[in-house]
Amino acid sequence: MSAVAKLHDQKEALRARLQADLGPNERAIQALSAEIETALKLLGGESSAPLGADE
């Protein structure tokens, strides 16, 4: 599995966690999402809006 595919998988897992539990970990999940977005951009992978950006 490529680095981009792994990052996309991690992002989707974080998105699912964020939707399932908006508790005290929300900011940590959003921070991890931002890190993944940065890594995807550096790798030239497709990216979507960061988690929580649609709020």
> For residues 55 and 53, what is the distance between their CA atoms, to the nearest angstrom?
5
Three-class DSSP category at 25: coil
Reported as a pLDDT band with limits 50, 70 and 90, residue 45 is: low
Q: Whole-model pTM?
A: 0.54
**Under a CB-based contact definition with an 8 Å cutoff, are residues 8 and 40 in contact?**
yes
The one-letter amino acid at 36? I
47 pLDDT more than 60: no
Longest dimension (CA), the chain: 32
> For residues 22 and 27, what is the distance between their CA atoms, to the nearest angstrom?
9
